[in-house]
Structure 1
Amino acid sequence: MSPYMFLLLIGLPLAGGMDSSIIGGKEAIPFSRPYMASIQRDKYHTCGGMLIREDYVLTAAHCLDRGNIEVVLGAHIINKAERSQQRIPVTEQIRHPSYKQNDENDYSNDIMLLKLKKKAKLTRFVNLMPLPKKNEKTPANVKCSIAGWGLKSPKGNKASYVMQEVKLKLEENSKCEEMWQHYFNPKNMICSVSDGKHAFCQGDSGSPLICKKIPQGLASYTIKGDCTNTTYPQVYAKISYFLPWINKTMEMNE
């Protein structure tokens, strides 16, 4: 059976509900990830992202389309009006030009820049995440971490709204290609493997995968309805591959 039958792009499809989750994780130390962004459509959390410049957030291309889009920075509990928070409207969604939004056979280039209406004020709660230095091979079996907001169980029905984090291990590209076939492109994707208990899930699209303090990937897709599936690796856009596009786009939109 084609893996597409199971594939799930993991942004939240509906603004009226919150169904995101870091599975098998734990509550993050409050404000320990000052680069994290909650991307919200009509005041509801939709995806994660990271602040890479005072006026730009990096996330997954499939996350957003219509609605009143805002970014919330400096948050730990996103349904509380924490003094640390900064809520900034998004003025432009800049998807990678090769991203094929409605092509169900191509999930590569799943990366997007969000231009903010005003610059974020950098504080101990809100800060930038430096990008990787260059496009290089990311070794397998390295332990990484990813954070986001939402449910602690894939079958839960009430969000905690508290930032959760989980540790995951990178998988060999050859294994990702074997399982995902043409859906996985080793040139611009990396993947992690679930042990059946720990995973990212729906609503965590765009959240950065941090390996040795460096953001290597943006959460992109996983198995539909089974985020902790141990057979099919979870897939991320490989940030370092897109460095030329990221830097050029920000320079052109000064």
Structure 2
Amino acid sequence: MLRYILLTVLASLVLAERPEPRYMEDAAEGRVVGGSVAAANSWPWQISLQYRSGSSYYHTCGGSLVKRGWVMTAAHCVDSSRTWRVVLGEHTLYTNEGREQTIAVSQVYIHPGWNSNNVAAGYDIALVRLASEATLNSYVQLAALPSSGEVLPHNNPCYITGWGRTSTGGSLSSQLKQAYLPVVGHSTCSSSGWWGSTVKNTMVCAGGGSDSGCNGDSGGPLNCQVSGRYVVHGVTSFVSSLGCNTLQKPTVFTRVSAYLSWMEGIMG
């Protein structure tokens, strides 16, 4: 059984000896490994999901604005009882740059198939209803979503974005980062020596080299180039416990196109 890391930043983590999947939020400190700092607000659907502890809020996951009142994120980001808020138009965490919109979360909808004890089963997706609708402008925009069932080909160009760790065991990035992660086709990613049977056909693999997602990136988008525009094809889910950018253990994402009917049923 492979071990994995779910990429959020709430709890402490212990690296395992075998490459099992791991939640990317399981870190006491909590950016994209490799890559570069993104141009401010160049991914205007990217949000910071934050939880309250005491009198302060802390970044734990990413997400994508899919409707003015709705955010898509990973189930494992929101499967605990906390007070949440979403920050849109964010670039530098905890610095007011005048473009941010901070909106409370009124309700969380976790996919009914999600089981935190069986991450490899999939269903790592959730919808967050905002207490008020976002104002769309040049800094805050809706994500484009794929068509139902759409599967991208091997090596399709994509970028992961997030404020997660800059290296395995590293610290959070204060500024939004991006890293180029081409798609790894399912037949390759599910083969022996890669992720094997841990990866299901409702998931997308991307990367597998020096760049990857890491703790703090969970729930954020895999932004893929399709017909001249960026489409959010994945929700960041897990990496290998051997390290965020372990060779032939690409970052694994929930495949958005497999869950569109569920999303439409929730959002109406």
1:167 matches 2:180 = yes
Residues 172-209 of structure 1 deviation map (CA, whole Å, 9 limit, x = unaligned):
212222233332111x11101322x2111111011111
Displacement after TM superposition at 1:78 (Å) = 1.4
Structure-2 separation of matches of 1:119 and 1:207: 20
Structure 1 gaps of 5+ residues are: none
Q: Structure 1 residues 69, 198: CA separation in 2 closer, same or farther (over 3 Å shift)?
A: same
Q: 2:267 is paired with a residue of what secondary structure? A: helix
Q: Structure 1 residues 136, 151: CA separation in 2 closer, same or farther (over 3 Å shift)?
A: closer
Q: Structure 1 residues 151, 101: CA separation in 2 closer, same or farther (over 3 Å shift)?
A: closer
Displacement after TM superposition at 1:134 (Å) = 2.6
Q: 1:23 is paired with a residue of what secondary structure? A: coil
Structure-2 separation of matches of 1:88 and 1:102: 31
Structure-1 residue corresponding to 2:241: 224
Residues 127-175 of structure 1 deviation map (CA, whole Å, 9 limit, x = unaligned):
1112112312210011210111144333434x33100101011112122
Q: Among the aligned pairs, what percent are the same residue? A: 32
Q: Tell me the TM-score normalized by structure 1.
A: 0.90
Matched-pair contact (CA < 8 Å) for 1:51–1:129: yes
Matched-pair contact (CA < 8 Å) for 2:212–2:250: no
1:61 matches 2:71 = no
Task: Give the ranges of 4+ consecutive aligned residues of structure 1 lying more than 4 Å apart after TM superposition.
Answer: none
Matched-pair contact (CA < 8 Å) for 2:164–2:215: no
Q: Which residues of 2 match residues 1-254 of structure 1 at below 5 A?
A: 2-4=1-3, 7-14=4-11, 17-19=28-30, 21-42=31-52, 43-64=57-78, 65-103=80-118, 106-157=120-171, 159-178=172-191, 179-186=194-201, 188-195=202-209, 197-212=210-225, 213-251=230-268
Root-mean-square deviation (CA, aligned residues, Å) is 1.7
Residues 100-121 of structure 1 deviation map (CA, whole Å, 9 limit, x = unaligned):
13335x3401000000011111
Structure-1 separation of matches of 2:145 and 2:164: 26
Q: Tell me the TM-score normalized by structure 2.
A: 0.86
Displacement after TM superposition at 1:225 (Å) = 4.6
Structure-1 separation of matches of 2:94 and 2:256: 29
Matched-pair contact (CA < 8 Å) for 2:85–2:105: yes
Structure-2 separation of matches of 1:250 and 1:87: 21
Matched-pair contact (CA < 8 Å) for 1:25–1:152: no
Q: 1:62 is paired with a residue of what secondary structure? A: helix
Length, aligned pairs only: 243
Amino acid in the other structure paired with 2:177:
Q
Residues 40-64 of structure 1 deviation map (CA, whole Å, 9 limit, x = unaligned):
0111111000000010000000012
Structure-1 separation of matches of 2:157 and 2:118: 32
Matched-pair contact (CA < 8 Å) for 1:150–1:162: no
Residues 80-110 of structure 1 deviation map (CA, whole Å, 9 limit, x = unaligned):
0221101111111101111113335x34010
